[in-house]
Amino acid sequence: MPSKAEKLLEKMRNSKSNWKRADLDKLYEGYDFVISHGGNHDIVKHPDFAQLRATLPRHRELAKGYVEFAVKLIDRLLELRKESEG
């Protein structure tokens, strides 16, 4: 049964518009990313794969590019997890 984060990922894959910052936080945290509140922007990092990083603005409304990037980053995470398992 898909987790909440997996369902959210599929919804974002289907439509990149009209998401809020809180939705993106839920998505990243659902895939074990850590969000740290930085100087001007927030930084998203994955504890197991240091190369997976993203920045987030502090606006409530999100431009769709941030959602597109998050989907790509999580797809890369899933590939890396599969490679490390296999």
Alpha-carbon gap, residue 69 to 45, rounded angstroms: 13
Q: How far is the CB of 26 from other proteins (least distance, A)?
A: 18
List the structure tokens of 42. Answer: 């927030």
| Strand ordering across the sheet containing 53-56 | 34-37, 42-45, 53-56
In the region spanning residues 61 to 80, those forming contacts with other proteins, defined by CB under 8 A, are 63-66, 68-69
Could you tell me if 28 and 65 are in contact, meaning their C-beta atoms sit under 8 angstroms apart? Answer: no
Which of 8, 12, 24, 54 is close enough to bind other proteins by CB under 8 A? 54
In the region spanning residues 12 to 51, those forming contacts with other proteins, defined by CB under 8 A, are 36-43, 50-51
Residues forming contacts to other proteins in the complex (CB under 8 A) are 36-43, 50-51, 53-55, 63-66, 68-69
